[in-house]
Chain A
Amino acid sequence: ETGVTQSPTHLIKTRGQQVTLRCSSQSGHNTVSWYQQALGQGPQFIFQYYREEENGRGNFPPRFSGLQFPNYSSELNVNALELDDSALYLCASSLGWTSSEQFFGPGTRLTVL
């Protein structure tokens, strides 16, 4: 059974640029959630995708967008990067949006200069 994987591991961008982060969910899982974890804080919920549809969104602006593909892998896109977007971005997969058991990937560390 393959766990949740994310790419890239680290990324450095400059203010105003756009970035795409990728996540492959655990085998058999159809739900992916994305979180932002700033330094010294807990993860903050960005949004969740269930069977290719957005199924809930946290308090993040529209420049944070996502996609889920038929194989249930997912992308997080952030436009017009700001310095405060520097954080660890985590994705978590689960079997169904009603499941409380989610498995996290190792994260992508994004630095915005």
Chain B
Amino acid sequence: TQLLEQSPQFLSIQEGENLTVYCNSSSVFSSLQWYRQEPGEGPVLLVTVVTGGEVKKLKRLTFQFGDARKDSSLHITAAQPGDTGLYLCAGVGYGQNFVFGPGTRLSVLP
């Protein structure tokens, strides 16, 4: 069974701080995705990383896929209250099955 772990589970920071959240697995995935989910809404895809060691930047968000394609990190620079939400990572298996982690709930205080 493929499982994804995310840490930390909860994170509360002040506006302007930097943060990193992690997504780890013992399984290899063909790609890994990060989503943000806000209350009352479905997850929204932020990025897909495919190649081991790949780094992608989306404005203040930096995503990295581990060399072995088992783990990933999301770094946010100068967090803003609009970044508040549940951050989910999802591993995409070779059969195109999606395995989601439990999420990191981020709260950015003004």
Contacts and interface: CB of A to CB of B under 8 A. Distances in A.
Interface residues of B, number: 24
B98 A45 contact: yes
Contact of A43 (B44, B48, B100): B100
A30 interface: no
A45 B42 contact: no
A90 interface: yes
Given A41-B103, A42-B102, A42-B103, A98 B42 contact: no
Contacts of A105: 42
Nearest to B42: A104
Nearest to B101: A42
A100 B100 contact: no
A78 B72 CA distance: 35
B31 A100 contact: yes
A56 B95 contact: yes
A33 B98 contact: yes
15 contacts: A35-B100, A41-B103, A42-B4, A42-B88, A42-B100, A42-B103, A43-B43, A45-B100, A56-B97, A58-B97, A90-B42, A100-B96, A104-B44, A106-B40, A107-B40
A contact patch SS: loop
A72 interface: no
What size tier do the contact residues of chain A reach? 20 to 34
Contact of A104 (B40, B43, B95): B43
Contacts of B42: 4, 90, 92, 104-107
A102 B45 contact: yes
B97 A43 contact: no
Contacts of A90: 42-43
Closest 5 CB pairs of A and B: A104-B42, A42-B100, A43-B100, A42-B102, A100-B92
Interface string A37-66: 000111111000000000010100000000
Contacts of A102: 45, 98
Interface string B20-37: 000000000011010000
